Structures are given as structure tokens and as C-alpha cells.
Structure 1
Amino acid sequence: MNRPPSEANVMFVPASVFGITLLIGSFLASPIMGRYGRKVAHYTISVSALVGWLTTLLADSVEMILIGRIIGGLSFGLMLPLRSILIGEYTSPKNRGAFLTTISLTQGCGIFFVHLVGSLLSWRRTALVCLFLPFISLVMTLFTPESPSWLVSKGRYNECREVFHWLRGDEEDAELEAMIEARMNFEKTIRNQKKLDIIATVQKQEFYKPIILMVHVYAMGQLSGGAIIAAYATTIIELVMNPGVNSGAWMIGLDSQRIIVNTLAIFVINWFKRRTMMFSSGVLCVASHVAIVAYVYLKDQGVLSAEANWIPGILLNIQFFSVSIGMVPLPSVIAGEVFPLEYRSLAGSISQASVAGTMFLVLKTFPGLVDNVGITGTYLVYAGLLTYCLFVIMFLMPETKGKTLQEIEDGYRGVVVTEEERQSLNSIGDNGKIVSSETKS
């Protein structure tokens, strides 16, 4: 039982363990972020990731590697809701989309980096290299401030102003003062309430609408191919093209395209509105699925030559382009914008839990679908589900580009901010500050 694990044994550590612990970590993130702050949550993630990789590095049995995997899954689950929320709260509306888009880019680069290192080094040396990444994150967290949104939720208005100005300067005081005023009004509303009415909270549209929206947005990210291409890339390539194709070379090409297009998405997200990006990339993704179905069907019927690999090659690249430009980066962007401050930690965790569930279902059912209905039937099922998600998103997703988080939150509550009111808020931010009880004391 205590013998050193062989390379073969390491390969058979259940991947499903990571998904289960990821789900648990997502739910643990909410109380940590809400009660102790975003910075403490960041510390928790870095330390747990550090312990996970250290356990793997020092492992002398498969059981120890499994423990390291469990700790790593908890760390990643904790990180999922925090990353979008923290970036959304830190950044200015004009740059928020670009910063949130870097989540998918860095994740793609991380996967590419680990695969590259893992192909060159042993698993133990790979763990040693990966150990330095959470250590760097831990050191960086020492020098980062607490989120201004969390500070205002705790009534620490002076600290909130200091951090907000440190992050963004003095040019966006209108958003700062509007956020403080909204929180003070909220405190007045609940001051006379003796207990939290959970049913009333769930019935609030600013609570349930963003969650329903994000469940469908995240589902699109998985159904578009983001999950199955990563897990079954060579299988899909061979089924769409032909069994004799160099699937490894095509996989590397698609991985490289993902990094390039993810980088491009950082700039594109600032040029187009969020809804435009969502529906254009979504329609393109559905169209690529249908086109792949049509090609494979015609190939199987002998109408098209199986040797014409350039046709399915173009179709797969179109699918992967739609995934990389919109389907994968947009969920992180939207998740960092739509949740109201009061329920941001809880709603973010619930939505992220749906990611683990959807990913598990997609990855588990893909082999069975292919065996029973073929790649054509599988892609048709995905195209139908993607179309359904697009219709739901059409009715629930507001335009968030260029808006402050407070404006987005007010929009879900049904509060419309006119241009005159926005100018009035700007004058408040420029000429004065809302006085809190903390300031008076």
C-alpha cells in the first residue's frame, strides 16, 4: 500500500474525484467570501492549492495522490466563483470586459503549459513546477487590497473609498457614491426586520434571474464543445474526418487557435456589446454544429469524399473559433457583472455549481450518445440544446457593457437610471460625498 506509485497507477487516479470536490469547493466559497472577505478567500485558495500540489509532490502511494487531487479540486472549486466576482468588483466598467476575458485566456494557457511540462517531465517534477504557481499567487495576495464592494457591504465606507481610489483613481466617484448610497438604503430597509425571509429573497428577481441566466450561459459553454473537445479531442477529430487522420497534430492546432482567439477576444470584448457577442458567437456555434452534421451525413452516404479533410477541418476550426471568441470567455465576463452585491457570493456559488453538474453530464453522456446515435446525432442534440439556451438568454440577459455594477443591479430590480440621473450622480461624485455614520463618528 505504501509503495511508490507507478506512472500507470497515477494515470488511473479517478478524474471524477476532481469534479466532485470542485462542486463542494464552489459551495464553500460563498460563506468565506461573504463573511470573511474576498482577500481571505484568495488566501484560502492559494494555501489549499499549495498544500494540494505539495501532497502530490511528496506522495508515496496512489492514496496520497488522490488526497492531493481532492485538495486541488476544493481549491479550484473555491476559485471558480471568486475570480469573476473579484475582477468585476476591482475593475472599471470601461475595462471590466477585457479583464474578465483574460480568465479564459489564462486558463487555456495554463492547460497548455501543464500539458507541455507534463510531456517533458515526470509527474513528480511537473508537480514541483506547478507548486510555484500558487506560491506566487499567495505572495501577490499579500499586496492586493480587499474588494471595495465587500467593504461597503460591511458598512466600512471610509475604507471602501480608500481602496476604490487606490484601484481606480478619482475619476469614477459617481459609481462609488452610488454604491454607498444603495447600501445605506438597503441597511435602512432591513433594519426593522427581525429575521431573514428566505422565501422572499428567493422570489426577488434580482436574485433568481441572474442565477437562471448564468446556469444557461454556463451550459452553453459546456455544450458548445468547450468540455468535450478538451476531453475527447482526438475521438471527435477522427469521427468527423476519418480514422487515419493525424488527430494529434490537429489537436495541437486547435489548442493553439484557442490561445490566439482568446487573446483576440480581450480586444473584441471592448468593441462590441455583450449581447451582440453572445448571440453572434452562439448562432455561429449552432451553425457549425449543423454544418458538421450535414458533412458527416453526406460523407457517410458517399456524396462527399472521406479524403477531403479540408472541409471538416474548416468546420472544426469555425466551431472552435466560436467557442474561443465567445462561448468560453463570455460566461466569466457576464458572471462578473450580473449578480447583485447582497447575494453575489451565494448566487455566484450556486451558478458555478451548475458548471460542475453540466460538465459531469456532458462528459459522462458523450461516449454513450456517440455509441447510440453517432457523432451526427450527438451534435444535433447539442445544437438543439444550444438553441434553447440562446432563447432563454435572449429574455434574461441585459446589456452590461459600459454600465456600473450598481446600474446593472438596479436594472434587475426594475429601477431605470435616466441620463439626467446619471449626470446628477456624476456631479455628486465630483463635488461631494455621501456622509455615513462611520464618517460622523
Structure 2
Amino acid sequence: MFMGAPTVLIPQLRKEANSTDVVTPEMASWLSSMSAYSGIPWGLILPLLAYRFGRKHILVLISVSVLIGNIIFYCSTSMTELIVSQALQGILAASITTITIMVMSEYTSPKYRGVLLAVKSATFYWGVWISNAIGTFYHWRNIGIVIFVCSIYNLSSIFYKESPYWLATKGRFEECANIHRWLKGTGEDSEEELRKLISSQQEHLSMKAEIEGRANYRKYIKFLNVLRCESFYKPFAYAIFPTCLYHFSGKMAYTVYAIDIIKKLTSSETMAYGGMLVLDAVTVLGMYLGCGLAKIARRRTQLLVFSSMGISFLFVLSIYLYMVNLNILSENKFISLFLLTAFSLSIGSGPIIISACCAAELCPLRYRSYFLCCLSLFNSTLMATVVKFSPILFKYSGAHGAFLFYAISSSIFLFLIYKYMPETKDQTIQEIQDRMTRRDGRGQTNRETLLLKETDFTQ
């Protein structure tokens, strides 16, 4: 809802002041991207806090921060206060690729993990749609009232049980087993997952004790050695491919600047607001369609098929607008909206939901904090930069040029996914990690063993 608020908030402020100078294009771009930029340091801090204190306490911290930021948002009387409220949501933006991934991957069984991660991703666009709907028909402050209700609900994380995976990393195996069975039952698959988890962490803690008994070592050597481990850099590279595909498709930019983009395509403010709500609704519909398919379809197949469809619509839209620009074709605003709607449906069913699934499923048990720090840093920087500079791209290259850029750039990452990305459906986190690396008898690569004997890898 915070991401969707600037889309309708900015036009209302300009209309109330009867001037576009009250929110300049530069200020609008900062307002839209501030939460992502301010989330960059939190992306480094949250995984380390979660490693030290567990998942539950960090969820409470995030919930309280969101509540405070929302109060400032609702009471804002200037652009400075609005930007401060968005900056406070940086911890929330960072949590999407850190704590959320930890919780969704650790608390759920492989059988249902993909569907639940897909539903989680769809909920994000539900929030965007609700914000835009409220801002279309009512004053933008009403968005803050709904967010307040959501913030109170988020505080229910106080009653969460701690993650069994985190308990295992701390050597609290009895608590780990009790909560794991409470969450996932005592079936054969669940017990096998629990056995592998405890066995892996026992070996992990044994090596940690051996290393800590040696001479002191420097922290930056530890980090460099972790980066060189195959079980770190391979899943990280695979995880950023769908993330890049999602952001370079321009979907987030179209969502944040929907009114301005549709107004350029249709030359109608009324149609811009209506088109914005339709596109948001279609995106949510596509994501729930993708949720259903995630239960039966393979991750790679679903990602490749729907991404290819979305990119194709971008190319067609770019060519169509370019021909209109050259006066070869007469402009029909309904064709433009249809192509943009078809694109939103395709991207919603593919990259938006699968990128979250892949990030959660590829995140290794070892180096989890390092992995999520790097992933969050990358995701926040990329999302903020794409949102920040999209207005410049549309201004200087035109709509046809911007759509062409997004189509070509996302095609590059689609090819990389086709060539390199592995399948992760219905596999435990430990199984995915084992399949991506060549294992010796002790359950890790020979090269990795040599590297980690020089360092502590518990984070």
C-alpha cells in the first residue's frame, strides 16, 4: 500500500495546489523510490539481526517501525514529512527479500511452499491496487487508515513460534524438532527433512567449534571465502536472474507511474485512472492464476512461458507505438491498453511470483545471512534505480523507446534463466543446496571444505 500511495497521492497534491510545482517530477521520483533506497542499509542489517536474535523478534521490530511510519504518513502536511514516512518504510522494503524469505521458506513444507510464496507476492499487488482504488475515489489520507489496521495485524508476530531452522543453527535441536513437527507434522517426508536439517547443522556446529579453537582470523577474509564457495555464488547468481527479469521488464515502473504512462498513451485523465485500476486488477488476477499453476507446474516452465509472452507483448507494443509515431498507423488507445493489460497478466503469472519463490528456495542454509544481505542490497538498489530513472527514460526516448528498452533487457535475463537456472519445485532447502554442488561423503564440496577451514561460516 505504501508503494501504491505515491501513484494517487502526487496527482491529488498537484490538484489541490492547482500547480505541478508543488510536486516536481524530480520530487515525485524520489517519493516513489525512497522506500527502496532507504531499505539498502536495512538489507545488510536485518539478516545479521535475524541470525543473532531469531526471526520472531525482528518481525516485531519491523511491525512497530511500519506503525510509526504510517502515523507520520497520515499526519503529513508537507513533502518532507511524506518522504520521511517513506524512508521509514525502508525496513519494510528490505524485509521482503530478507526476513520474509526466511519465514516463508523455513516455516512451510516444500509441498505448499511455492503456492504460499506466490500468494505472498500477489498480496503485494493487492496492496497497490487498494491504495490506488482509495486514492481514485477518496482522499489519500484514507490509505493511512487501512494501513493502520494492517499494521496492528502485523503485530500478531509477537505470538509466533521461533523458526526451527534458526533453532537448529543454535544447537537447540530438541526445540527445533518440537516446532518442526508442530508446523509440518510427523509424516515421512517431514521427518526426513528434520533428520537432514539436524544432521547438517550438527556437522556445521562441529566444524565451527574446531575453527573457533584455532588462531584468530580476520572478518573480511571470512566474507571473501564465503563468496568463493560454490554453494553461495551459484544459488545467488540463479536467484538474481528472475529478480532482474522482473525489474527490467518495467512492471514496477508501470505500476508506480501508471497514471502518467496511461495518460500519455490515451490523452485522457479519466481513462488513466480507470486504466490504472484495470491494470492493477489484471496483475492481481494473473498472480493468482500463477499461484494455482505453481502447485502443478515446474518453476522453470512457468517462468519461461509467461515471461516470453510478456516480453512479446512489450515488443509488439513498442513497434505499434513507433509506427503511430511515424504516422504509419492511426492511434487507437484501446489497442495500447489491451497490449499493456496482456503484458501485466503475463508478468503477473510468471516473474512476479516466481522470482520470490526462486529466491526463497535457492537461499542456502549456510551463509543464509550473507546471502540475504547481498540479495536485499541488490534488489533494493535495482528496484529503486529502475523506479527513479523510468520517468527520464520515458521523457527522452518516448513510450515506444522505453518499452523497447524493457523488452530487450528482460529478454537477456530470460535467456540466462533458460540456459542456467535449475528446477527447485517440491525440494527441501537442503536438497536444493546439495543438487547445486558436488558433494563428498561429508555433504560438502572438497573445494568448499578447504575454504571454510580457514574461516567461520556460521552466518
Deviation at 1:211, TM superposition (A): 1.9
2:43 equivalent in structure 1: 26
> What is the CA–CA distance in structure 2 between the aligned matches of 1:210 and 1:334, rounded to whole Å?
9
Q: What residue number does 1:225 align with?
A: 250
Query: The residue matched to 1:342 in structure 2 has which SS?
Result: coil
Mapping 1:267-282, distance limit 5 Å: 267-282=292-307
Unaligned runs of 5+ in 1: 422-441
Letter aligned with residue 95 of structure 1: Y
Contact 2:133 2:277 (C-alpha < 8 Å) held by counterparts: no
User: What one-letter code is carried by the residue in structure 2 that aligns with 1:220?
Assistant: L
Q: What CA distance in whole angstroms lies between the structure 1 residues aligned with 2:55 and 2:183?
A: 15
On the 8 A contact 2:134/2:140 being kept in 1, the answer is no
For the 8 Å contact 1:32–1:40, the answer to whether it is kept is no
Say which SS state the counterpart of residue 341 (structure 1) adopts: coil
1:55 corresponds in structure 2 to 72
Q: Is the 8 A contact 1:104 1:328 kept in 2?
A: yes
C-alpha distance after superposition, 1:198-252 (max 9, x if no partner):
322110111112222223321211121321111222343355x443582222222
Residue by residue over 1:132-151, the C-alpha shift from the partner in whole angstroms, topping out at 9 and shown as x without a partner, is 2121111x213321111111
Counterpart selection for 1:289 from 311, 314, 322? 314
Do 2:246 and 2:410's aligned partners in 1 also have CA atoms closer than 8 Å?
no
- Identity across the alignment (%): 26
Aligned equivalent of 1:360: 384
Matched, 1:35 2:52: yes
Q: Which residue of 2 aligns with 1:412?
A: 436
- CA RMSD between the two structures: 2.7
Q: Structure 1 residue aligned with 2:341, among 299, 317, 322?
A: 317
Q: Of 204, 207, 213, which aligns to 1:189?
A: 207
- Counterpart secondary structure, 1:399: coil
Out of 67, 77, 81, the residue aligned to residue 98 of structure 2 is 81
TM-score, normalized by length of structure 2? 0.82
2:62 equivalent in structure 1? 45
Match of 1:342 among 351, 366, 377: 366
Contact 1:86 1:336 in 2 (8 A): no
Q: Residues 118-171 of structure 1, C-alpha deviation per residue, up to 9 Å, x if partnerless?
A: 445545454243222121111x21332111111111111111111111111101
8 Å contact from structure 1 (residues 45, 76) kept in 2: no
1:266 aligns to what?
291
- Say yes or no: does 1:146 pair with 2:170: no
Relative to structure 1, is the Cα distance of residues 288 and 63 closer, same or farther in structure 2, using a 3 angstrom cutoff? closer
Cα offset for 1:257? 0.8
Task: Spell out, residue by residue over 1:73-113, the C-alpha distance to the aligned partner (whole angstroms, 9 max, x if none).
Answer: 23332343111221111111111100000122111111222
Residue 10 of structure 1 and its aligned partner are, at CA, apart by: 9.0
Contact 1:92-1:168 at 8 Å conserved across structures: yes
Q: What's the TM-score once normalised by structure 1's chain length?
A: 0.85
**Matched pairs, number:** 411
Q: Which residue of 1 aligns with 2:5?
A: none
Give the aligned residue type for 2:194. Answer: L
Which structure 2 residues correspond to residues 157-196 of structure 1 after superposition, within 5 A?
Answer: 157-171=173-187, 172-193=190-211, 194=214, 195=217
CA distance in 2, matches of 1:312, 1:384: 19
CA deviation after TM superposition for structure 1 residue 178, in Å: 0.7
Separation (CA, whole Å) in 2 of partners of 1:179 and 1:369: 48
CA-to-partner distance for each residue in 1:45-92, whole Å, 9 max, x for gaps? 111111222334455766554443322223332343111221111111
Over residues 154-200 of structure 1, what are the superposed CA-to-partner deviations in whole Å (9 max), with x where a residue is unaligned?
Answer: 11111111111111110110011011111112223333223463322
Rounded Cα–Cα distance in structure 2 between residues aligned with 1:155 and 1:44: 25
1:225–1:323 CA contact under 8 A, matched in 2: no
